[in-house]
């Protein structure tokens, strides 16, 4: 017979013995103990094997008499579940759109190849590539979301110049179908310490968001300046701003802007800003909503300088 402390493994411990072994029980463990050991509950009468009644420590909340296992989830759990369902629905929509473009243009090429001019073929091939790149970016975002929450993001920082970094992000944004005009402005010699791929990923997310929430035909503006020992890269849009009720969960895992006016034909999974802030902080920087209002919003990416 195996002995642990003064308890035999074949017998259930009394509540007093459990407290001696593990210290004060948490409310959840207290409730489980009471359910599986009813005769040792402090409100039950003392028994010969149970010892004297021991009062709860002041820090431990007694379980309610009517408490049941498998109770309905509370409001926070229900909200999290609904947000998760929204993410699945939005992800399905976002992935379906580029897939439909790939299939549609591929079928046109297959069925009309001999009747198409070289220029038309090139146009359809470019459209397929843009849709495929957009789908790859969406899949990459979904793949990394769990690692952001765990703080397990592979990062390789090195000195990089801001100007080429921003230009690469502009090119990638256009490669995935970004049709909004993008204006850039900043010093050519400003250098940051960052992971090039991750920094570009953040900027593409910010430019994509700016397009989604801006009027058609407006210009997205990207600027970079030095702020103390950090470089600040800002992305400006001409949207209607972030509603007050959305600001508290803007950078949370499922923080879609429910009250914002998104452009027709666009949608959002609500994970871009969450991922982008996680990537920025993994590089020693941050991502902030600098300002917002009826004439637009400004998001600021901060990156350390060498």
- Residue 283 located in a structural domain: yes
- Residue 110 located in a structural domain: yes
CATH number at residue 104: 1.10.287.130
Whether residues 1 and 58 share a domain: the answer is: yes
- Residue 80 located in a structural domain: no
Which residue would you say has higher pLDDT here, 50 or 90?
90
pLDDT in tens, 183-204: 999 999 999 999 999 999 999 9
Taking each helix axis as running N to C, give the angle between helix 196-212 and helix 118-150, from 0 to 180 degrees, rounded to the nearest 10: 110
Which residue would you say has higher pLDDT here, 216 or 189?
189
Work out whether strand 181-185 and strand 219-227 pair parallel, antiparallel, or are unpaired: parallel
User: Which DSSP state fits 201?
Assistant: H
Whether residues 33 and 115 share a domain: the answer is: no
Cα 289 from Cα 291, distance rounded (Å): 6
Helices and strands (H and E) in the chain: how many:
8, 9
Query: Lowest-confidence range among 13-27, 74-88, 195-209?
Result: 13-27
pLDDT in tens, 220-236: 999 999 999 999 999 99
Whether residues 200 and 101 share a domain: the answer is: no
Whether residues 35 and 111 share a domain: the answer is: no
Whether residues 300 and 162 share a domain: the answer is: yes
How does residue 34 score in pLDDT terms, banded at 50, 70 and 90? low
Residue 110: domain span: 85-150
Work out whether strand 219-227 and strand 191-194 pair parallel, antiparallel, or are unpaired: unpaired
Whether residues 182 and 204 share a domain: the answer is: yes
Please name which of 302, 97, 98, 94 lies closest in space to residue 203, comparing C-alpha atoms.
302
Whether residues 1 and 28 share a domain: the answer is: yes
> pLDDT averaged over the chain?
75
Whether residues 162 and 250 share a domain: the answer is: yes
Q: Is 120 exposed, middle or buried (0-12, 13-18, 19+ CB in 10 A)?
A: middle
Two tokens at 141?
């975002």
Specify the pLDDT at position 187.
Answer: 97
**Alpha-carbon distance values, 35 to 38, 40, 137 (Å):** 6, 10, 49
Q: By the 8 A CB rule, do 300 and 185 touch?
A: no
Which residues does 41 contact at the CB level (< 8 Å), separation at least 6?
15, 33, 34
3-state secondary structure of 232: strand
Cα 69 from Cα 71, distance rounded (Å): 6
pLDDT in tens, 43-52: 443 444 444 4
Specify the pLDDT at position 269.
Answer: 56
- Residue 77 located in a structural domain: no
- Residue 79 located in a structural domain: no
Identify the sign of the CA torsion 204, 209, 215, 216: positive
Place of tokens 């017979």: 1
Alpha helices for 117-191 (secondary structure H): 118-150, 162-175
Whether residues 105 and 198 share a domain: the answer is: no
Place of tokens 């998001």: 299
Which residues does 224 contact at the CB level (< 8 Å), separation at least 6?
162, 163, 166, 185, 186, 187, 190, 231, 232, 233, 234
3-state percent breakdown (helix, strand, coil) of the chain, nearest 5: 45, 15, 40
The pTM assigned to this predicted structure is 0.62
How many percent of the chain have pLDDT more than 70?
A: 63
Residues of 96-115 as b/e, b for ≥16 C-beta within 10 angstroms?
A: ebbeebbeebeebeeeeeee
Domain count of the chain? 3
Tell whether the model's pLDDT for residue 35 goes beyond 50. Answer: yes
Whether residues 33 and 136 share a domain: the answer is: no
- Residue 61 located in a structural domain: yes
Whether residues 189 and 293 share a domain: the answer is: yes
């Amino acid at each position: 017979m195996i002995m642990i402390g003064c308890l035999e493994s074949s017998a259930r411990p009394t509540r007093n013995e459990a407290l001696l072994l593990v210290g004060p029980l948490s409310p959840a463990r207290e409730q489980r103990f009471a359910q599986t050991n009813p005769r040792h509950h402090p409100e039950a009468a003392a028994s010969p094997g149970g010892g004297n009644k021991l009062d709860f420590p002041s820090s431990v909340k007694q379980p309610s008499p009517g408490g049941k296992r498998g109770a309905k989830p509370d409001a926070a759990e229900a909200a999290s579940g609904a947000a998760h369902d929204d993410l699945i629905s939005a992800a399905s929509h976002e992935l379906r759109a580029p897939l439909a473009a790939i299939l549609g243009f591929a079928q046109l090429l297959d069925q009309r190849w001999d009747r198409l001019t070289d220029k038309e073929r090139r146009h359809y091939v470019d459209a397929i590539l843009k849709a495929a790149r957009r789908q790859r970016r969406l899949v990459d975002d979904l793949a990394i979301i769990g690692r952001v929450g765990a703080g397990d993001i592979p990062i390789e920082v090195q000195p990089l110049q801001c100007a080429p970094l921003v230009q690469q992000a502009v090119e990638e944004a256009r490669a995935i179908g970004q049709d909004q005009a993008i204006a850039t402005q900043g010093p050519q010699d400003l250098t940051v310490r960052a992971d090039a791929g991750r920094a570009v990923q953040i900027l593409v997310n910010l430019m994509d968001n700016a397009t989604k929430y801006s009027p058609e035909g407006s210009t997205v503006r990207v600027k970079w300046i030095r702020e103390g020992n950090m470089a600040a890269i800002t992305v400006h849009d001409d949207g209607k701003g972030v509603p007050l009720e959305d600001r508290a969960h803007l950078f949370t895992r499922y923080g879609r802007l429910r009250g914002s006016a998104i452009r027709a034909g666009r949608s959002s999974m609500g994970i871009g800003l969450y991922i982008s802030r996680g990537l920025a902080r993994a590089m020693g920087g941050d991502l902030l909503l600098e300002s917002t209002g009826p004439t637009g919003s400004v998001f600021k990416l901060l990156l350390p300088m060498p």
